């Protein structure tokens, strides 16, 4: 899956719209970057940009925006209410999906190194990227603001991590680093701002002071009144939603509000939010209320409703959830065809798609039929005593069916590396050796794909057997077809493993892989027979 990193550079310019837009355009034009939000503030004279992309792209986007700031922002004339020390004041990198914090640390260092070298500006590292504990937090580095940079930057203990250790009057200094995703989150109250602030003091990490800390870690917050909504709010920054997620904060506000006999009227997320935070909320309410929800879109809807995220402004998941904002259509041309189109494509005069893709599709249908029967049994009054059992059986079948769909295209694409290797030069002994090694790697990939199809299909058997035993007997033929299809899909994938194994020279790999594939194939035959025997012995 694609790696997604968020970058949130803050620039010391919130009034000159031409400069603000020029910086935004520099980010937009960077290949691989998606600009999500531009938030200028006149009184703060500061603009916060939010964009996302893969690791290499966000570094380029941050550098492109910094180049514009280097040309257009002059800190010698800057004034504003917000603390600041540089034209690009702070530039954090945040892991969003399939990226570790350690990777973001390296990303921030790469940005800092290049910005220092290419733009000749001082760069400090903070948060997870910090090299010194005494300058880990932004307030520590920014103490005295821009006006103090001139004297501090020449001190040995305040030498920048990258770039020149000298004062650049028109720029100041920049702070970069890796930090966790910050969620700006507000809970709406039918109360006074004082009551909202009282609740915030009880919940935020700092509490009322060192002697009276609040309930939750990684939470900064206060209470205020929003005239546009005619509501008070507990407004918080959740610095690490894995420590304190939105739904836990929301429920805590509800508890505190109940003690004060205050009404809670939903909540809002300011800016964007990771999908994981929303799904965590959904899973919380699913467990709390004993619900049964499988599909992701339904989980998102549940979280939105339980948190009241539509209460003051529409919460459109496609515009608020990062992964949905930047998602692309899956690269699955075969699986995306109509059923008619797929069959016609298989029937064409070409070698692909062939038996491997067809096997994946057949196995997916087999698991899908098992899932269908379990779902048709679930919730039926006649089978009410089986609800608990069906709730256990639906997920593995549902997940197997969905996991097998991408294998339709994966099998057709499996020979890409092998075909590419065939075109490698083979004039010298060194070229021949390299080509031979690449051909072997290509063949192994072509084997691993159908083996993965077999493994995914194999995971459905235990649930399929129980569906045969407990499912609605009126759907007997559906389970029979499902079992036969699942076995056939696994058998077909096995044949693809075997046929691609012929030219493999690694005898150990060949022996171990064939043994694994044969075991899955034999288990499929035995499990299919068990399903059919169970159904033959069941009466209506």
pLDDT in tens, 217-269: 999 999 999 888 899 999 999 999 999 999 999 999 999 999 999 999 999 99
| 418 and 512 fall within a common domain | yes
Count of the separate structural domains present in the chain: 3
Arithmetic mean of pLDDT over the chain: 94
From 178, 213, 240, the end of a domain falls on 178
**Owning domain of residue 68:** 4-178
Task: Based on the fold, state whether residues 209 and 84 are members of the same structural domain.
Answer: no
Instruction: Give yes or no: residues 38 and 147 share one domain.
Output: yes
Tell me: the pLDDT tens digits for 334-347?
A: 999 999 999 999 99
Q: Answer whether residue 331 is part of any domain.
A: no
Same domain, residue pair 467 and 369 = yes
CATH code of residue 269: 3.30.70.670
Q: Which of 46, 58, 67 is nearest to 121 (CA)?
A: 67
Domain-embedded: residue 381: yes
Do 36 and 84 have their domain in common? yes
pLDDT at 540: 59
Whether residues 398 and 491 fall in one domain: yes
10 Å Cβ neighbour count for 481?
A: 15
Domain of 483: which CATH number?
A: 1.20.120.680
C-alpha distance from residue 58 to each of 7, 64, 380, 498 (Å)? 7, 10, 51, 44
Statement: residue 328 has pLDDT above 80: no
| 193 and 149 in a common domain | no
**pTM of the model as a whole:** 0.76
Q: Last residue of a domain, which of 178, 210, 226? A: 178
Please determine, for residue 502, whether its predicted confidence score (pLDDT) is greater than 90. Answer: no
Q: Do the Cβ atoms of 233 and 189 come closer than 8 Å?
A: yes
pLDDT band at 1 (very low <50, low <70, confident <90, very high): low
Is 333 part of any domain?
no
Residue 155 lies in a domain: yes
Segment 202-218 mean pLDDT: 95
Residue 90 falls within a domain, yes or no?
yes
DSSP bridge pairs for 37? 50
> Residue 325: pLDDT band by 50, 70, 90 thresholds?
confident
- For the sheet containing 183-190, what is the strand order? 219-226, 231-238, 183-190, 263-270
pLDDT number for residue 506: 92
Q: How sure is the predictor about 105, in pLDDT bands with cuts at 50, 70 and 90?
A: very high
Same domain, yes or no, for 174 and 196? Answer: no
Of 277, 301, 326, which residue is a domain's last?
A: 326
Tell me the C-alpha distance between 531 and 463, whole Å: 10
Note whether 217 and 244 are within 8 A (CB): yes
DSSP three-state, residue 423: coil
Mean pLDDT over 44-58 rounds to 92
Residues 235 and 321 in one domain: yes
Give burial (CB, 10 Å; 0-12/13-18/19+) of 385: exposed
For residues 339, 340, 342, 343, the Cα torsion angle rounded to the nearest 10 degrees is 120
Catalytically active residues, by annotation: 82, 411
Is 334 within a domain? no
Summarised one tens digit per residue, pLDDT across range 350-361 is 878 889 999 999
Q: Are residues 388 and 277 in the same domain?
A: no
CB 195 within 8 A of CB 260: yes
* 162 in the same domain as 127: yes
**What would the DSSP string read from start to end of 182-230?**
PEEEEEEEES-HHHHHHHHHHHSTTTTSTTS--S-TTEEEEEEEETTTT
Give φ, ψ of 38 to 5 degrees: -130, 120
Instruction: Give me the CATH number covering residue 172.
Output: 3.30.990.10
Two tokens, residue 82: 């917000």
Distance between CA atoms of 187 and 27, rounded to whole angstroms? 32
Residue 276 shares a structural domain with residue 397: no
Decide if 130 contacts 82 (C-beta within 8 A): no
Mean pLDDT value across residues 310-333: 87
pLDDT at 535: 95
Distance CA 45, CA 47 (A): 7
Confidence of residue 532 (pLDDT cuts 50, 70, 90): very high
Count the Cβ atoms, other than its own, within 10 Å of residue 70.
18
């Amino acid at each position: 899956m694609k790696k997604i990193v968020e970058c949130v550079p803050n620039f010391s310019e919130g009034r000159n719209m031409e400069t603000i837009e020029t910086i935004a355009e520099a980010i937009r034009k960077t290949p691989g970057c998606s600009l999500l939000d531009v938030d200028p503030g006149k009184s703060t004279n500061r603009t916060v940009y939010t964009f996302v992309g893969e690791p290499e792209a966000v570094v380029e986007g941050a550098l492109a925006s910094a180049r514009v700031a280097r040309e257009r922002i002059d800190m010698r004339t800057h004034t504003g209410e917000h603390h600041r020390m540089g034209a690009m004041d702070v530039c954090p990198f945040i892991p969003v999906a399939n990226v570790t914090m350690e990777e973001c640390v390296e990303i921030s260092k790469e940005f800092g190194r290049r910005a220092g070298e290419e733009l000749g500006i001082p760069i400090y590292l903070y948060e997870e990227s910090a090299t010194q504990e005494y300058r880990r937090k932004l307030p520590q580095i920014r103490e005295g603001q821009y006006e103090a940079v001139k004297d501090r930057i020449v001190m040995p203990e305040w030498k920048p991590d990258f770039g020149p250790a000298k004062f650049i009057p028109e720029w100041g200094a920049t702070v970069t680093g890796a930090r966790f995703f910050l969620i700006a989150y507000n809970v709406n109250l039918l109360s006074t701002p004082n009551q909202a602030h009282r609740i915030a003091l009880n919940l935020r990490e700092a509490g009322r002071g060192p002697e009276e800390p609040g309930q939750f870690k990684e939470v900064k917050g206060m209470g205020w009144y929003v005239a546009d909504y005619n509501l008070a709010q507990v407004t918080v920054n959740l610095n690490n939603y894995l420590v304190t997620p939105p739904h836990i904060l929301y429920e805590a506000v509800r508890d505190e509000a109940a003690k004060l006999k205050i009404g809670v009227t939903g909540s809002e997320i300011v800016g964007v939010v990771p999908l994981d935070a929303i799904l965590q909320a959904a899973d919380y309410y699913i467990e709390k209320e004993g619900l049964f929800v499988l599909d992701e879109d339904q989980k998102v809807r549940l979280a939105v409703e339980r948190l009241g995220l539509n209460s003051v402004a529409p919460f459109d998941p496609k515009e608020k959830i990062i992964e949905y904002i930047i998602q692309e259509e899956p690269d699955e041309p075969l699986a995306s065809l109509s059923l008619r189109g797929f069959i016609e494509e298989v029937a064409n005069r070409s070698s692909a798609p062939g038996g491997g893709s067809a096997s994946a599709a057949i196995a997916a249908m087999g698991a899908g039929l098992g899932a269908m029967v379990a779902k048709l049994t679930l919730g039926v009054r006649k089978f009410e005593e089986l609800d608990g059992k069906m709730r256990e059986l639906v997920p593995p079948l549902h997940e197997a069916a969905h996991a097998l769909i991408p294998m339709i295209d994966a099998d057709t694409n499996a020979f890409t590396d092998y075909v590419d290797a065939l075109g490698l030069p083979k004039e010298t002994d060194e070229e021949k050796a390299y080509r031979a090694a690449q051909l072997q790697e290509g063949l192994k990939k072509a084997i691993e794909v159908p083996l993965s199809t077999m493994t995914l299909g194999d995971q459905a058997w235990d649930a399929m057997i129980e569906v045969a035993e407990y499912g609605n007997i009126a759907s007997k033929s559906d389970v029979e077809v499902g079992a036969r299809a699942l076995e056939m899909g696994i058998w077909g994938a096995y044949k693809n493993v075997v046929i691609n194994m012929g030219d493999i020279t690694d005898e150990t790999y060949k022996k171990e892989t064939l043994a694994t594939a044969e075991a899955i194939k034999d288990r499929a035959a035995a499990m299919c027979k068990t399903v059919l025997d169970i159904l033959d012995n069941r009466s209506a």
